[in-house]
Chains A and B, each alone.
Chain A
Amino acid sequence: MKELKIKLTGQIKSHFSEIEEKDYEGNRLDFTVRKETVSSVLVFLKDTLGFKHLSHISCVDWIEENVFELIFIIWSPTDKLRVFIRTRIDRDNPVMDNMDMIWPQMNTYERELREMYGIVFEGLDAPDEFLLEDWDGPPPMRRDFDTEAYAQDTFFERPGREDAQDVRETLTKRTGEDLPDFAKKYSR
């Protein structure tokens, strides 16, 4: 396994000199590339080195560094190796190339990332809505999206929903009867 990893790493590095490598145990290879190079690396891995199966595409919001990290995880059915290809893109201007011509299922991942993180995939041909419906707020998977504030604004404290606060208090007000002792303990 180790020899195979060294051999494949050498082949990848000979084609993409600026690639950064990180060493991991087991059957994992890990490379970081510039965003312009991602598609060429993926095509090379798929067509030349036999990494035919796209396992996953994910995104991590490193808000402190103002970047999104995209992670492409690919599997080689012949060599039984897993490769992580990472790239970092500017959080203020998150633009990537559309790559669904490499693997058709990338289209679905790109739609999700577009909606959940606001990443623009240039040339992506897909309907606007994927998971969210009639959504005009900020991309909800970004770290600065405040779920609690959104829920408070949307689902609580709005006119007509006062009853939702505390059922016991509401019942007391309506009936004019005092709460039983055991219920007082839990009342807010």
Chain B
Amino acid sequence: MMIRLKVTGDTVVKATTEVGYLHRAFEKLLEKRNWMQCFPVLCRFCVPEPDPVEEAFALAVESIEGREVPERAKYIRVLVLELARMASYMLWYGGQSGSLGLYTVGQWSVGDRNYILDLFEELTGGRVYHMYIWPGGVRRDMPEGFGEKVLKTMDYIEKRLDDYDDLMFENAIFKRRTKGVGIIDKEKAVEWGVVGPPLRGCGIKSDIRIDDPYEVYDKLDFDVPTAEGGDIWARALVRRQEVRQSIRIVRQVLDKMPSGSVYNKVPNPQKWRLPEGDAYSRIESVRGEIGFYVASDGGLYPRRAHMRGAAYVHAVTLLERILPGENISDVSSILNSLGACPPEIER
């Protein structure tokens, strides 16, 4: 992805997003994979946070087939999704502050992210790509003592968040460079398709986990943080609070985790035909709505699997609208605050 800027002095006059440099024909590939073979492709849609993509696809497949998922698997899925959210926010800390020259935050947060990746490695066998959530449940149960390790990591990260606050949110440069920059018009936000933290940064309380709950989010107690202003600062405040909410969710999940099976076995994947039909499932990722439209013609492969990423709207139509008038040095910071993720556009 590339943004072509037309400038007068240091001020952006016109911005045009040009995409395609990362296009790998994922959706075409999915049409030639059976329903289980899709998963090694799916996680590659988004490197920092692959689990919501797996979850969205699995939910769509389960919805077409009417397949039930065991209760324990639902809790484990929420645990994985929230850990992925935190890991992704740790990268965001680095990207957002790094775009303003504050590199230390990123060095700390990416270091701390590794503790979450350690947990993923133990649970799923992979640090970055997991292929852990799949139709019918999750691939395997939590290893013994895993819950305690997660809680220990949560305690550590919660303590570190105060350090990030001192280093990033109390920093005069960060405040000056983010307040009043990259403003999204609250009146237009929903209509323009803004989702996730950028929408909540406009003061609009919207979260798919609450509005259109999936898995067991309706049984958990958590807040949806919002902030006023619609600028980078507001979006950063929202994300800062969301990490704390994720920690809260993870603790509840481990507390309420039922016992039982984690996987309702699907038929032999080589012969597994889904009934005719289609479904659209959506998930709240760190960037906002991730959705999957999946259509089945009753065959071994998806007839169509089409992903909707938040960046598809944020980094094209929205970015082109809010960049004019901004200073050229703020462009990368605005881009980061919108969660622009090229693989979501160039699928």
- Complex alpha-carbon distance, A60 and B27, angstroms: 12
B295 CB–A CB distance under 8 Å:
yes
Complex contacts, B27 vs chain A, CB 8 Å: 141
B346 CB–A CB distance under 8 Å:
yes
- Complex alpha-carbon distance, A162 and B23, angstroms: 26
Contact A55 B211 (CB under 8 A): no
Complex: chain A residue closest to B277, CB-CB: A24
Complex contacts, A108 vs chain B, CB 8 Å: 312-313, 316-317
CB distance from B66 to the nearest CB of A (A): 9
Which of these, B31, B282, B316, contacts A55 with CB under 8 Å?
Answer: B282
Complex contacts, A60 vs chain B, CB 8 Å: 278, 295, 303-304
A170 CB–B CB distance under 8 Å:
no
Complex contacts, A107 vs chain B, CB 8 Å: 317
Contact A104 B19 (CB under 8 A): no
Contact A82-B280, Cβ < 8 Å, known A140-B25, A141-B27: yes
A92 CB–B CB distance under 8 Å:
no
- Complex alpha-carbon distance, A27 and B317, angstroms: 28
Which of these, B193, B212, B295, contacts A27 with CB under 8 Å?
Answer: B212
A20 CB–B CB distance under 8 Å:
no
Interface hit among A2-10, A34-42, A124-132, A172-180: A124-132
- Complex alpha-carbon distance, A108 and B191, angstroms: 15
A156 CB–B CB distance under 8 Å:
no
- Complex alpha-carbon distance, A105 and B312, angstroms: 9
> In the complex, which residues 105-158 of chain A have their Cβ closer than 8 Å to any Cβ of chain B?
105, 107-108, 127, 129-133, 140-141, 143, 147
> In the complex, which residues 160-198 of chain B have their Cβ closer than 8 Å to any Cβ of chain A?
190-193, 195
Contact A77-B293, Cβ < 8 Å, known A58-B304, A103-B193, A141-B27: no
A56 CB–B CB distance under 8 Å:
yes
A80 CB–B CB distance under 8 Å:
yes
Which of these, A53, A103, A132, contacts B20 with CB under 8 Å?
Answer: A132
> In the complex, which residues 219-235 of chain B have their Cβ closer than 8 Å to any Cβ of chain A?
none
- Complex alpha-carbon distance, A108 and B317, angstroms: 7
Complex contacts, B211 vs chain A, CB 8 Å: 77, 80
- Complex alpha-carbon distance, A47 and B346, angstroms: 31
Annotate A5-30 by CB proximity to B: 1 below 8 A, 0 otherwise: 00000000000000000000001000
Complex: chain B residue closest to A102, CB-CB: B191
Contact A104-B317, Cβ < 8 Å, known A60-B304, A71-B293, A131-B19: yes
Complex contacts, A54 vs chain B, CB 8 Å: 193
- What is A's interface to B at a CB cutoff of 8 Å? 27, 52-56, 58-61, 71, 73, 75, 77, 80, 82, 84, 103-105, 107-108, 127, 129-133, 140-141, 143, 147
Beyond A53-B195, A77-B190, A103-B193, 9 additional pairs, beta carbon < 8 A:
A52-B190, A52-B191, A55-B308, A56-B280, A73-B280, A75-B212, A82-B280, A130-B20, A140-B25
Q: List 23 A-B contacts (CB under 8 A).
A: A52-B190, A52-B191, A53-B190, A59-B304, A60-B278, A60-B303, A60-B304, A61-B304, A77-B190, A77-B206, A77-B211, A82-B280, A84-B280, A103-B191, A104-B317, A105-B193, A105-B316, A105-B318, A107-B317, A108-B316, A132-B20, A140-B25, A141-B27
